[in-house]
Structure 1
Amino acid sequence: MTKEILGSFKLSAIALSLAIGLFACEGDDGTTGPIGNVGEQGDNGAVGADGQSGRSVPLLTRLATVPRGAEVTGAFLSDAGDLFFNVQHPSDANSEEDSSGKVYNRGTVGVLSGVNFNRLPSKIADSPVPETEFERQTVMTALGEYQVIGQTNDVFAELGAKGLAKGLGIHYGIMSGDKIIENNAPDFNGFVSTGANEGYLFTNWESYPGGMSRMKIIKDNVGSWSVTEAMMLDFDSVQGTAANCFGSVSPWGTPLTSEEWIVRSDVNSTTDASWNDPANTSTDNMEALTAPDFPNPYRYGYIAEVTAPTSDAPIVVKHFTVGRYEHENSTVMPDRKTMYSSQDDTGGVLFKFIADAAEDLTSGTLYGAKLKQDVGSTEPATTGFDVTWVELAKSDNATIGAWIAEYDGIGTDDYVEGKTSYMTIADVKAWADGDATYPLVENGGSFVTAGQPMDDRSAFLESRQAAKMKGATAEWRKLEGISINHDRALEAVGGVESIADENVTEAFMYIGISDIDNTMIDDEGDIQLSARVKDCGGVYRAKLEENYDLARIEPVVMGGTYRSTLTGAERCDVNQLSQPDNVIVMRDGRIIIGEDGFQENNTLWMFDPKGE
């Protein structure tokens, strides 16, 4: 982390004394004369203007560390100030028990009990860097106590019929009903309140295929949580999901889950897709969902909304309108129409979607961000970007769904060497160029659309390539979590007083970047940063302007590499950021950052941008 220390001072009226020296030139000094009478005191001069206030050093506080091998995932702060976070894929060799008898060798969903994050003091002592085996294998916290809510394969037998006989995080085939995977990777948490000290905790389970659990939890009068019912959501209606990563809860109370890994997005590079090539039809367990050798790839890679989240049978809706790419997460602004989405990949795009109607993501317009880097600046800790928005297309789920259905049923018998039934780079280019029809197969087109009238499917089925060809910046490297504090944003932009003890005049969307390398440091295109930060990553922020627009992105806090004196390998300082994954904005403006880094024990940080 680069720290700027600026002194803070005021200018005041100062009495000046004058020493008068008498100098002779090439002669002896004369006799000193008598001292004259002291003159009358002159009038005081005008008081000088106050100098510019200095800025304190921004602070990183180590809130917690997770066990050996694990990532910090799922950070979620409820309106009541409860902080949930997960232990993702810890080492299965961990054997130490914490004070509650829990061993952290399975994916773990938990909460920091006994702490209200809406009432934190301004200063908190760091949790120590783990040294003992017990500290390395358990969750260590700076305050409160980490309470396990559930772990991979838990069945909650004590709940009877309200338990989960098939196990927490376990995924089954839609057609066969066979177990596919025991998922050790809980990611996003989203809490939907149903009253004081109770609600439903939704958790993503990130794998191929993906899934989401829902646990009804209640908190007693000493701050301890218990599970009263549990289920894995039914995603059969959307033919399953691919790697549910991070997410958010919409302002109207519906969880939004992200499909991060999509099925072989070859068209996003320089070659056309050939998913039905008989020599290579592997889709990492996705074929087990729907029985054929491989699924329709255009059915995966979207934001899915859990509607009726507190009902006995929540309904899952994939929003094709938000685009198909490697979603990390999306967050909806207080206008309930504007949504920002991040692409977790090399050469990714920051997307914006504006719905046609509030609380309805089924139709709207998709945009990609175009960046302009500060002139003459390449240092990651200080270099910002001006942002403009490139409109891609406007459509709705039903229209896009009909396009997707055209690729159902394509089999290995349809494969032709050197040609494809799927979208091609030539298809996307013809769309971007405004051509009236899709190119013929002999001109690089696909079998499905060759010669047909042009439509906007490129924008929604191959969103990155479409955005890039329209001039948006496709150069982010592992664009991770994005977050706002709803109440701060509502007050600063919407003019609605929401924060009782503060006059909020500006609010920001924070953006985690796990790696600042590859396409961000290659001296090409719109982003050309130095390699100083590289794999350690950092956090950016963008001020929310009128109508929740973003016009500027600037760095806030960065990690920094150093070379090991023993091996020469690049490392990240344990006391600085190491591959920040997701961020959460607190009511008081501080942010919580979870690491997905190289450290033996990754950290859950709290960062104070005010440095107070």
Structure 2
Amino acid sequence: MTETYLPNCMVEFTRRKLMATSVAATLGASVSSNVTGIESTEPPEDDDTPHAPYVKGGLKRFSSTAFGAEVTGPFVFKDGTPLYSLQHPSRDNPAPYNKSGIGYFSGFQFSMGGSNDDFDELSTPQTNEEQGTIRSADGEYVFLAQEEDRINGGTERLGVVQTPDGWDITRDVFAGTQYGDAAYNPDCNEFVATNDEGTEGYLFTNWENSPGNISRIPISQDADGEWSADLESAINLANTEPLRELGGTRINCYGDLSPWNTMISSEENYAHPRVSLTATVGDIVEQGTGKNLVGASQFWNRPNPNGIQEAIDGYYGDESWAVQGYWALTGLEFLAYYLGAEQIDQTSSPVDQSAEDESNTTEPIGDTYPNPYRYGYHVDVREPTAETPQPVKYYVMGRAAWEAPDVQSDLKTVYGCSDGDSKGIYKFVADEPIPDFCDPMDTAGTLYAPKVTNEEAAKKNPPADVDLEFEWIELGHATNREAEEWIAEYDDITQVDYLETHAETDWQEDLDAAIEEADKEIVENGNQNYITNEEILAWAEQFERDGPDGVDDELRKVPFLETRAAAKEIGATIEFNKAEGVDSVAGAQPGDYVYFAISELNDAMADTLGDVRLDRVDGGVVYRAELEDDYNVSTLEPVIVGPDASDPADVADDALINIDNVYVMDDGRVLCCEDADKFGRSYSNDCLYVYDPETDDDRGHGNDDGDDEDNPGKGDGNSGKGNGNPGKGDDSGKGKANS
């Protein structure tokens, strides 16, 4: 029997200037298929970057997914059988590949022999038939479950979140914006085995929507090696009281299988930026206005919050700017309904609503509204095999657009990647092993942000030639309970407060005028309902003068609730563009590697400012970092570099483009998932590649398939499991980060 490791104690759970590509590409993974009336543009002109593409080791294509879909949620069972999610496929694909789902590769198991000799590389998909299905080098993709399958005794639909009174939160029931169609975005998969053979257990799956969701499906393997799902007994955790009491989740992206055998689901809250791109709060104060600088989070409680970009364009005309993350404000009002808000902004009720008469007004929600500081965390699904699992959010690990965490085998060190433009890679170190805290709310530790220190990173060098060396800046220390208490201070703020705090006009007399007045006031002086610009600057001033332990008690909340803004203010390297995945082998020890996936190396990593100014590579980079004796990492070594956007098909077809999830298998090989633009490829499908690391220290520059005759070494001796991450979706607001 495989058991979860928990202590023997009671547990209480009580941008316009830069971007010209489509908004669809901006929204990326979760919502691209739902954006209409916008044409995609070709990738920008891009000079050739030396050693792009480049692979240190070997890289082989194992699978191509159906048109329109990403490869997300990779997992490998104990016997070597791979699985992944079909996320947001084109509805024009032939059935069953026109619906999202979760499936495994029947008839194939990775041999765990530490090399890619266990399969012949899959050809590129060329015909319409090949592009419309899921293909693999070996085995057949078999669905275990698909979107909206009936589950839980027929009372629910897989992946669909409900209101407290049982209404499905879908577009055909409620009017308004939704972060991707309900149940269209399955992502991370983690299997919690309930027997030693690993043939029975629960499959936990993230649903990257807002409201967010995690499903739990009992699955089992028969004597012939085939897997089946018990959908009758499957549940949506979002519809259980423990998760609802936490406020639910948003945009559940990737995650991790913890060393204590629980799923950790990460909330990719793209709407958290309070300043756009490389700006800081200090820039706003120095300028005397947030014009051209302010980001999405400042408009969180605005009526129809995702309408802020259109409003800003109307107010400022040619002087408008991209409000970073505005599009991820979609689904907030649906989240309010999930929490039980009265649907006063609906022209009809769920009972009598029809496609002809439904609409969403700007009438402000005044009774129940989500607290922004309750979203953007790692969610640990404790008691995973119980009738009702007990989730806990690790507020103390910081708030971000988390793609994934990677928990180290010391049970204390956690690395996390925040997805989007100008974001961070963070580290949290607990005071003691995390499962040793009897109550997860007592989890205590220190949050860190990186500072890239080597001069070579600030020169226009090819990314393949530069290791990024960095130090960790301590942001603060707290307990999970303290962080939750700070968050609770903002629980009762609503859309009515947005208007009454920031507009002199009575919204009940002239709603449109009040909204415009409030919007402009927030641009000028910030949203006074939440942590203010002045508080962030006061924290930074005290931090720089007295260190993280010398700040006033009332300001200790700043780096935990406004993690990105705080880190930027004190000079941390918040420049990573689309940090999409992090993983290491299960049981990794000092000397093993942690892999970091950077989907696009451009914008803040390839400009003339900041700590990182490398040559641009729109195809992205996979780095690895060697674990030191204390499970720290201090150097990112590039091992895979994608192509330039201008590279032709004979180069781009076999190169890894826009890396998303990474998953380290037991033998040290790495599954690399794509969330790719077409670039110069002859096909448009995303693929799953298997990276075979080499062990020697020579860094010759191989061709795009990694088979450089000067670098024949393969295998790096790592052993164990891993996970990765999805969610391509730059959050700059006006287009994908190609400029």
Q: Is the 8 A contact 2:160 2:168 kept in 1?
A: no
**Contact 1:72–1:85 (8 Å) recurs in 2:** yes
Which residue number in structure 1 is paired with residue 77 of structure 2? 78
Secondary structure of the residue aligned to 1:347 is coil
3-state secondary structure, aligned to 1:218:
strand
Following superposition, the deviation at residue 281 of structure 1 comes to 7.6
Q: Which has the higher contact order (CA 8 A, sep 6+)?
A: 2
Instruction: Name the CA distance, whole Å, in 1 between partners of 2:446 and 2:258.
Output: 18
Contact 2:544 2:570 in 1 (8 A): no
Q: Report the equivalent of 1:608.
A: 692
Aligned position for 1:325:
400
Q: Relative to structure 1, is the Cα distance of residues 408 and 267 closer, same or farther in structure 2, using a 3 angstrom cutoff?
A: farther
Provide closer, same or farther for how the CA distance between residues 68 and 462 of structure 1 changes in structure 2, counting only shifts above 3 A: same
The code of the aligned residue for 1:598 comes to D
Contact 2:597 2:660 in 1 (8 A): yes
Task: Give the drift of 1:409.
Answer: 1.5
Question: Which residue number corresponds to residue 313 of structure 1?
Answer: 388
2:246 to 238, 248, 254: 238
In the alignment, the residues of structure 1 paired with residue 56 and residue 689 of structure 2 have an alpha-carbon distance, to the nearest angstrom, of 16
5 Å matches for 1:210-609?
210-228=212-230, 229-233=233-237, 234=240, 235-267=243-275, 270-271=293-294, 273-277=298-302, 280=305, 283-285=329-331, 286-292=335-341, 293=365, 294-360=369-435, 362-375=443-456, 376=459, 378-411=461-494, 412-413=496-497, 414-416=500-502, 417=518, 418=521, 419=525, 420-434=528-542, 454-487=554-587, 489-490=588-589, 493=590, 506-531=591-616, 533-534=617-618, 536-563=619-646, 573-599=652-678, 600-609=684-693
AA aligned to 1:397 is N
Match of 1:168 in 2: 158
Secondary structure at 1:182 match in 2: coil
Whole-angstrom CA distance in 2 between matches of 1:593 and 1:322: 26
What is the count of residue pairs matched by the alignment?
518
**TM-score normalised per structure 1:** 0.79
TM-score by length of 2: 0.66
Alpha-carbon deviations, 1:247-294, whole Å to 9, x = none? 001000011101102545325654382434458487422222224434
Match of 2:337, as an amino acid? A
For the 8 Å contact 1:114–1:222, the answer to whether it is kept is: no
TM-superposition CA deviations, 1:408-448 (whole Å, max 9, x none): 222324422535121123211211111899xxxxxxxxxxx
- What amino acid is aligned across from residue 202 of structure 1 in structure 2? F
- The separation in 1 between residues aligned to 2:418 and 2:376, in whole angstroms, is 10
Change (3 A) 1:2 1:113: farther
- Mapped partners of 2:116, 2:647: distance in 1: 35
Structure 2 distance, partners of 1:391, 1:549, is 13
> How much does 1:238 deviate?
1.0
Percent identity, aligned pairs only? Answer: 35
Specify whether residues 132 and 80 from structure 1 end up closer, same or farther in structure 2 by C-alpha distance, changes over 3 A only.
Answer: same
1:400 is paired with a residue whose SS is helix
| AA in 2 matched with 1:415 | T
Q: Cα distance 1:137–1:555, how it changes in 2: closer, same or farther (>3 A)?
A: same
SS at match of 1:367: strand
Question: Structure 1, residues 487-539: CA drift from partner, whole Å, max 9, x if none?
Answer: 3x23xx2xxxxxxxxxxxx31100111111111111211111112x22x1121
Q: CA deviation at 1:89?
A: 0.3
Give distance in 1, aligned partners of 2:560 and 2:128. Answer: 49
How big is each residue's C-alpha offset from its partner over 1:301-335, in whole Å with a ceiling of 9 and x where there is no partner?
11111000011100111110011111000010000
Q: 1:299 to 1:308 in 2, by over 3 A?
A: same
2:191–2:202 Cα contact (<8 Å) kept: yes
- 2:85 touches 2:102 (CA, 8 Å); kept in 1? yes
Kept in 2, the 8 Å contact 1:118–1:586? The answer is no
Match of 1:194 in 2: 194
Pick the structure with more helix per residue. 2
Contact 2:258–2:407, Cα closer than 8 Å, also in 1: yes
**Aligned-pair Cα RMSD in Å:** 2.8
Structure 1: which amino acid aligns with 2:338? Answer: L
Q: Which amino acid aligns with 2:218?
A: K
Q: Deviations over 1:17-63 (max 9, x none)?
A: xxxxxxxxxxxxxxxxxxxxxxxxxxxxxxxxxxxxxx996221110
Name the structure where strand makes up a greater proportion of residues.
Answer: 1
Q: 3-state SS of the aligned residue for 1:433? A: helix
Residues 352, 366 of structure 1: 8 Å contact kept: yes
| 1:209 corresponds to 2:199 | no
For the structure 1 residues 364 and 175, does the alpha-carbon distance in structure 2 shift closer, same or farther, using more than 3 Å as the test?
A: farther
What is the Cα deviation at residue 182 of structure 1?
Answer: 2.3
Is the CA contact (8 Å cut-off) linking 1:4 and 1:57 kept in structure 2?
A: no
Partner of 2:228, secondary structure, is strand
Distance 1:127 1:399, change over 3 A: same
CA shift, 1:130, in A, is: 1.3
Between the aligned partners of 2:408 and 2:470, the Cα distance in structure 1 is 18
Contact 1:76 1:83 in 2 (8 A): yes
* 1:513–1:225 Cα change, 3 Å: same
The 1-side partners of 2:662 and 2:214 are apart by 20
2:390 maps to a residue whose letter is: I
Deviation (angstroms), 1:377:
5.9
Amino acid paired to 1:125: D
Taking the aligned partners of 2:668 and 2:371, their CA distance within structure 1 comes to 43
| Alignment gaps of 5+ in structure 1 | 6-54, 98-102, 157-161, 438-451, 494-505
Q: Which of structures 1 and 2 has the bigger CA Rg?
A: 1
Equivalent-residue separation in structure 2 for 1:253 and 1:320 (angstroms): 20
